[in-house]
Each structure stands twice: as C-alpha cells, then as structure tokens.
Amino acid sequence: MPMIDVYAAAGTFGDHHALAQKLASELMAIEQVPDIPMFRKNTAAFVHELPSSGISNVDGDSTYVRVQVLTNAGALDRAKQLAVVSRFSTLAEEAAGDASLAQRTWVLLTEAIQGGWGLAGHANTNEELVVAARAPDRRASVEGQPLDLTL
C-alpha cells in the first residue's frame, strides 16, 4: 500500500486534507488496484509544511514542492510512472492555485524492497499482500501470523 509524502513551504496549499485525499485516490486509480477496503484504508498521503527558510535552490528560491511516493516493488510500470509524475505535478499546481508550480514540483518514485515495508505490525512482501488482498475476508495468515489489513 503506497505512502505519499508532500513537502512544501508553509502556505503553499490551502486545503491539505483535500490534496492528500486527491493524491491517494489518484494513485489507487493509476496503480489499478482493486477498490477494496484493504487498499482504500492503507493508501495515504501526508502533507508536510516547512518554513520557507528550510527550502532553497542555488539562487535562494524556496517555491518548490517535493512529492515522494513509496510503493511496493513493481507496482508502477513505465506508463504508470509517467502518469503518477504528471498527475501529481498537476494536482500540486491546482491545490496551490499556481499555474507554474508543476515546473517546480519534484516527484520521487521509490519502491520498497521485499519485506521492507511494514503494515499491521508485519514486514510485508508483495506475495503476502496479494494473499491478503485475495482472501475472502481480507485477512490472511502469513508464516503463521495473522495479517489483517482491513483496518
């Protein structure tokens, strides 16, 4: 389940919650995962405000946005990578009301290694997540441990 972190100078976005919800929803759509509680409850975005003094390019400008997307390994093929970067840049621009912000929005795509991402108290592999997603009640037993991702 993806995690999205957005970093921007304080005041860049008016409605953090709406932006976070749009980003999470858009990523689910791009990934084409099933619209089930397991994915809806575990795909989330976090909007972090920084003082403008905490962001700078070489010239001293601080009007940049950084979006980091963490997915499980192999979740985004090339077409999906392009879609995420394009859509997230546009969503940041729209949320800020700044038509030029997409040009200053960096989107970093990161894949978690197998077992390198914990959820529900368990370091999950892609196979374990697939098993849990396919389980009739969205619960699975992985290596004898219950894995409940329904939240």
Average pLDDT over residues 132-147: 56
Among 56, 53, 71, CA closest to 113: 71
Residues 39, 62, single domain; the answer is yes
Structure confidence at residue 137 (pLDDT): 56
Nearest-angstrom CA–CA distance, 89 and 105: 6
Residues 51, 12, single domain; the answer is yes
Nearest-angstrom CA–CA distance, 67 and 78: 18
Residues 29, 96, single domain; the answer is yes
Q: How many domains does the chain have?
A: 2
Residues 138, 108, single domain; the answer is no
Residues 26, 74, single domain; the answer is yes
Strand partners, 123: 118
Report DSSP state, residue 15: -
Structure confidence at residue 136 (pLDDT): 62
Residues 98, 28, single domain; the answer is yes
Among 49, 33, 46, CA closest to 1: 33
> In this predicted model, what pLDDT tens digit does every residue of 54-87 receive, in sequence order?
999 999 999 999 999 999 888 899 999 999 999 9
The residues, ordered by sequence, that sit 6+ positions from 126 with a Cβ below 8 Å of its Cβ are 72, 73, 74, 114
- Count the alpha carbons within 13 Å of 20 in the hemisphere toward its beta carbon: 17
Domain that includes residue 105, residue range: 3-112
